[in-house]
Structure 1
Amino acid sequence: MNKSPNYTERKWWQDGIIYQIYPLTFADGNGDGIGDLQGITQKLDYLNDGNPDSKTSLGIDAIWLSPINKSPMADNGYDVSDYYDISAKFGTLKDFENLLVEAHKRGLKIILDLVVNHTSNQHSWFLESSSSKTNSKSDWYHWQDPNPDGSVPNNWLSYFGGSAWTFNEARQQYYYHTFNKNQPDINWQNLEARAEVFQIIRYWLDKGVDGFRLDASSVYSKDKYYRFNPMKFDAKDRNKYDNQHHLYNKNLPENHQIIKEIRSIIDEYEDRVLIGETFIDSSLYDSNSFYGVNNDELHLPFAFQFAMSPWYPGYLQRVIEEKELTIPNNARPTYFLDNHDLPRHLSRWIECSLCTNPLGIAQAAAAILLTVKGTPFLYYGQEIGMVDNEDIPEDKIKDRVVVKSDTEETPPTRDGARTPMQWDDSVHAGFSFGKDVEPWLPVNQDYKEVNVASELAQEESILNFYRRLIKVRKNSKALRQGNWYTLINYPYEHLAYIRESKDEKILMIINFSYEKEFVIDRDLETHDWRVLVSNVLEDNLIINLPQTLQPFEVSILRKE
C-alpha cells in the first residue's frame, strides 16, 4: 500500500486541481441567457487570478470544458456536427482563442472534451455515410443488415434505453449507437476515419489546448462479428442495459490500441494531458487497465467508485485502499465527487441517516477529495455547496436523450445537476452579469444564500473552506505527492489517515457523525501537531492529538 512516490519530473496534472465547467450554465457574457466563452473568460480571475495570496480566487490549476464544438444539441453538445468549429451558442473560434490566451496568462490550463466515440447524425460524415452503401464514407459507421424478419441485428442496447440500432431508409440498414439515436458510433476500424480523428486532435493541440478528456473512451471498439451479448445470470429484464455482460460492444482489447495511438499524438506535444471516461459501470480493475501496460494510454482514467460511494466512512476508505493496492506503479489516481452526469454529492448524501449537518458534510467531502493521493476534479458550483434543482418545470427541461421506458411516465433528466452557477443574490443569481434574462435552465431557489459573493464574505462558508484547503494543498508536498496510509480499520464513523513525504507528515481526521472517542497510535501522540485547516480548531495552533472528536470535525494537522 505504501508505494514510493515519484518525485522526479512532476507534471502539472499530477499536482494540480482540475475544475469542470459545463459551459451552457457557467456564465453568460453576451446577455442571451446561455453560458458562453466570453462569460468564462470574464470569470477567470475567480478561478485563478495568478495571485497565491488572493482574497477572492479559488486557486484551481486547469479548466475542463464540456463540449463546445458545433452541435445541434440533441445531447447538449455531446453530439458534434463539426469538430473544427465552435457552437454559435458559445461564441466563435476567436472567442476560444482569446480564452486560451487569458487562461494561460494566469497559469490556467485548458482541457477540451473530445467526443469521438460518436458524432451527431447531422455531421457531414454521417450524412454522406448514410446516403448509400457505396459512398466514400460508407464504412465510417457501424452498419448492419436487418435480420430476415426485419428485426435488429443483435441484442445490443443503448445506454440511454431501448435498442442500440436504428433503421436508415436510404441504406435499408441499421446503424449502431451506444447512446441516443442522434449519436451514431464511429467505426474506429476504418483507418480513414481514424486518421481524420487524429487530424482533429492535432488541430486543437496546435492551437495550444493543454489536453483532452475523452468521452466514453472505453466503448470505441466493437466486435467485428457483432455477436450477441450474454445476459447476466439473475437478469429479469432483457431490455435493461445493466443486465447484459457487454463483452462485444465495450472495453474490447482493440480499444486500448486506439487510446495508445491517441496518447502517442499527445506525447508529441510538450506537457499535455490525456484524461478518459472509462464508462460509468466499469470496475476499478477495468479503469486501471486504461493506464496501459507501460503507462502509455490515459494519464488520468476516471473511475466512478469513489463518486458513487454511499456517505459512509468505511465504504469510502475501502475504495481509497483498493485504489492504493491496484493502481499501477507511477500512475496517478483520480478523484471526483460530481460531474455533469451525476446528481450533486450533497443531494446524494444529505438524505442518508447520518447526514444531519449539510455544511459539515460539504466540508468533510471537500477535505477528503483534496487530501487523498491523486488528482482531484471539482465540478462547477460544488465549492459553494450547490445542490440539485429538483423543481425544474417540464417545459424547461433540456436533457431529453434518455428513452422513455414502459414503467416511466417521465424519463430521468440530468438537468438538476447542470443549473446555472450562482454568482450573487441579484436576479437569476447574476448568471447574465445582473441582467434580467431568463437563463438556459432555471436557477436553484437557494441562490440568495448559496452564491459566490455572499460566501466570499462569510469566513466560515464552504467556499472559503475550499479556498483554505486548496492553499494548504498547494503548500504541502506531502498532500500533493506523498504516500497515503490509513490509521484505523472500518467500520467506524470517522476516517483518519496519513499523507507523508520525505520531510513532512500530515494527519487527516474526519468525523462523520456525533462526538466520538479518538484512539490513535501512541507514536503519533508523542508529537506536537500544527493545525493547518480545521472547522473546530484555530489555524496554526500547536496541539496534542485530541482524545475526542467533535461532531463532523474536519482537522488537517502537520507533525512539527
Structure 2
Amino acid sequence: MTNDWWRGSVTYQVYPRSFQDSNGDGIGDLTGITERLRYVASLGVDAVWLSPIFVSPMADMGYDVSDYTDIDPLFGTLDDFDIMVAKAHEMGLKVIIDQVLSHSSDQHPFFVESRKGRDNPKSDWYVWADAKPDGTPPNNWSSVFGGSAWEWDGHRKQYYLHNFLTSQPDFNFHNKEVQDWLLETMRFWLERGVDGFRLDTVNFYFHDARLRNNPARRGEPQVNPYEMQLHKYSKTRPENLDFLARMRDLTNEYGASMVGEVGDSTRAVEIMAEYTSGDSHLQQAYSFDMLGPEFTPKHFRSKIETFFKKAPDGWPTWAFSNHDVIRHMSRWHDYGADQDSLAKLACAMLLSFPGSVCIYQGEELGQTETELEFHELTDPPGIRFWPDYKGRDGCRTPMVWDNATNTHGGFTTGVPWLPIKEPQLSRNVAAQEANAHSVLHFYRHMLEFRSERAELHGRDMARFLRAPNPILLFRRGNLLCAFNLGTETRRISLPRGAAEALTGPSQAASISGSLTGRKLELGPNGFGFVELS
C-alpha cells in the first residue's frame, strides 16, 4: 500500500475497555484485542483504530491522559502493544491510535507543576487567567460537560481552562514548547510502528489569546447549555492550521495518516473541508453530522455536497456510530422495516459514500444501544444530565462474541465493567457466523464489493440525481447507487444506459420488470447498484 493508503480506506474502531478481556478483570485489554484481530481482518477492513490506551486516572475513560508514552496497566504493557501492532501488520491491518492533545489529566506531572505557581518552567503550559474584579471567571466560555469552562485554583489564585471535565485542563498551544513536546509524543508512537492517529477534538487546540466572550446562539434552552453559545473564540481558531501543518510534516516522514474529530454543531462540514483541503494539513476529518437523528436523503446529500463544494481536493471520513453517540440502529429505529433490513441498508449506504469510512465495533452485527439504569452509569455527563441525557455508556457496553451467559457473551470470565443485556447478547458473533443471511455476513459481502469497485473506494465523487423522497440516488463513476430510506416499496426510473444486470452483494435489491424500461423496484429499506454505460 502507498502513503495514500488511507484514501477510501475502511477503519474498524475498537473501544479497548469493551472488546475482549483476557485476564478476567472485566475490562478489555491489548492481549484480548490481539486474540481477536483475526476476526477484524476477516471483515475486510483496512485499519483498526484503538480508543485511548495511555496511562490515565480514567475520569473520562482514558481521554484524560497522565502519561503520553506508556500504556495504562488496565490494558497491558508496551510489550503487549508491540505484539498487537506486529500481529495486525501480519494480517494486513494498519493501526491507528487515539491522540488526546488538546488537554491532559490534572494528574499529569506538567499540570501538577504548572499549578504550583506563576514562575516555574511549566507555568505557561496550560491556559491560566486572572479572575474578574468580582471573582468570576475571565469570560463566558462553557464546558462541553456542563458549567463554566474555567476552574478556580486556590493555590495559584487563577482560573484554568478546561473544555471538558475540571480534571482535564487545556494545554496552552500558544506556547511553542507545548507544541514541540506533543509532536515528540506522537513521534514516539510512530517509531513503534503505528500507521496513523485519530485526533480527539482537533479543532479545540487553540483558544483566543484575548479571551473574548463567545456570542450567544439563538434558539430554545438546551439540556446542555454548551449548545447555547457559538464557540467563536474558545475553539476553531485560525492558529490551528499552522499546528496541523506541523503534524502533517511529521506524519509524512512515516507515511502515516491522521483523521481529525471536528467537534462543532453549526459548521462542522465546513471545518472538515478547511482542515483537509490541499496537502498541508489533515489527511482526513470527520464530524458528528452523520452521527445524529437525521435520516433523510436531503440530509446525507447536503453534508456530502457541502464538503466537496468547500474542498474539492479534501478527504472526509464518514461514520454512522462511534463511542460518543447512541448507536445508529437505535437512533434510526423508526425508519426500519425490521432491524436487519435497516442495518444492511445503513451498511450499503455508508460504504458507498465518497471518502473513507469508519465502522464502530458491533455495528457489523446490527447492534443496538444498551438501556442502562442510573446506578449502572460511569459516564460523567450522563450522570450530570440524567435522565434527559443518559451519557455514552449505552454504546460502550462490551462486544458480544457468543451467547454464553457465564462468560458474558465471551467477553470476560469476571464481572464486565458495563453490563451486557439480553437484546445485545442475542446479536452475538457466533450466531451470525452460522447464519449466511446475517448482518455480519452482509458487511463482509459489502466490504468485498467496495474493494472490487474502484468507483467506490477511489476518487470518483458522488453525483446526486433527482429522486422522490425517501430515495437517495447518486452516481459514482459508472455505478448507480440507489437507497430506499423508507419502509414502503418504491419504484424509480433509471437513467438511460442502464445495463442489463444488477451488480452488488446478495440481497441488494430486485428489478421490477426489465431494465429495458429503466425501472428499479426497491423494497422496504431496499437498495441496489446498477451498471451504467
Which TM bucket (shorter chain)?
A: over 0.9
1:454 equivalent in alignment to 2:437: no
1:124 equivalent in alignment to 2:117: no
1:535 equivalent in alignment to 2:507: yes
CA distance in 2, matches of 1:473, 1:409: 41
CA distance in 2, matches of 1:402, 1:126: 27
1:42 equivalent in alignment to 2:35: yes
1:111 equivalent in alignment to 2:96: yes
Change (3 A) 1:462 1:233: closer
Residue type of the alignment partner of 1:556: F
CA distance in 2, matches of 1:447, 1:233: 39
CA distance in 2, matches of 1:144, 1:205: 35
Select which of 259, 264, 268 maps to 2:249.
264
1:496 equivalent in alignment to 2:479: no
Larger mean Cα displacement after TM superposition, 354-363 or 373-382: 354-363
How far does residue 326 in structure 1 lie from its aligned partner after superposition?
A: 2.7
Select which of 22, 28, 50 maps to 2:21.
28
For the 8 Å contact 1:369–1:376, the answer to whether it is kept is yes
TM-score normalised per structure 1: 0.89
Structure 1 counterpart of 2:418: 441
1:75 equivalent in alignment to 2:60: yes
Change (3 A) 1:517 1:418: same
Change (3 A) 1:36 1:543: farther
For the 8 Å contact 2:46–2:93, the answer to whether it is kept is yes
Select which of 423, 439, 450 maps to 1:473.
450
How far does residue 487 in structure 1 lie from its aligned partner after superposition?
A: 5.6
Select which of 302, 305, 329 maps to 1:346.
329
For the 8 Å contact 1:534–1:555, the answer to whether it is kept is no
Residue type of the alignment partner of 1:119: S
Select which of 291, 294, 298 maps to 1:314.
298
Residue type of the alignment partner of 2:392: R
Structure 2 counterpart of 1:4: none
Structure 1 counterpart of 2:76: 91
Structure 1 counterpart of 2:283: 299
How far does residue 238 in structure 1 lie from its aligned partner after superposition?
A: 12
Change (3 A) 1:279 1:196: same
Structure 2 counterpart of 1:415: 393
Change (3 A) 1:456 1:556: farther
Change (3 A) 1:346 1:427: same
CA distance in 1, matches of 2:181, 2:13: 27
How far does residue 398 in structure 1 lie from its aligned partner after superposition?
A: 1.4
For the 8 Å contact 1:218–1:250, the answer to whether it is kept is yes
How far does residue 69 in structure 1 lie from its aligned partner after superposition?
A: 0.2
Structure 1 counterpart of 2:360: 379
Over aligned residues, Cα RMSD in angstroms?
2.4
Structure 2 counterpart of 1:333: 316
Residue type of the alignment partner of 2:114: S
How far does residue 304 in structure 1 lie from its aligned partner after superposition?
A: 2.4
Residue type of the alignment partner of 2:370: N
For the 8 Å contact 1:62–1:109, the answer to whether it is kept is yes
How far does residue 550 in structure 1 lie from its aligned partner after superposition?
A: 2.2
TM-score normalised per structure 2: 0.93
Structure 1 counterpart of 2:339: 358
CA distance in 2, matches of 1:557, 1:456: 29
**1:145-184 maps to which residues of 2 (within 5 A)?**
145-184=130-169
How far does residue 516 in structure 1 lie from its aligned partner after superposition?
A: 1.6
Count of residues in Structure 1 that have an aligned counterpart in Structure 2: 528
How far does residue 474 in structure 1 lie from its aligned partner after superposition?
A: 1.2
Select which of 185, 189, 193 maps to 2:174.
189
Deviations 1:445-487 (A, max 9, x none): 2244301111111111111110000011111112111524446
Change (3 A) 1:306 1:536: closer
Change (3 A) 1:457 1:179: same
Residue type of the alignment partner of 2:322: N
Deviations 1:76-99 (A, max 9, x none): 000000001101110111100100
For the 8 Å contact 1:22–1:66, the answer to whether it is kept is yes
Structure 1 counterpart of 2:481: 508
CA distance in 2, matches of 1:458, 1:253: 52
1:276 equivalent in alignment to 2:260: yes
For the 8 Å contact 2:461–2:476, the answer to whether it is kept is yes
Residue type of the alignment partner of 1:355: G
CA distance in 2, matches of 1:30, 1:410: 36
How far does residue 70 in structure 1 lie from its aligned partner after superposition?
A: 0.2
Structure 2 counterpart of 1:52: none
Give the match's secondary structure for 1:141: coil
Change (3 A) 1:491 1:537: closer
Structure 2 residue runs without a partner (length 5+): none
CA distance in 2, matches of 1:536, 1:80: 44
Structure 1 residue runs without a partner (length 5+): 1-7, 49-56
Residue type of the alignment partner of 2:449: V
Change (3 A) 1:275 1:547: closer
Give the match's secondary structure for 2:384: coil
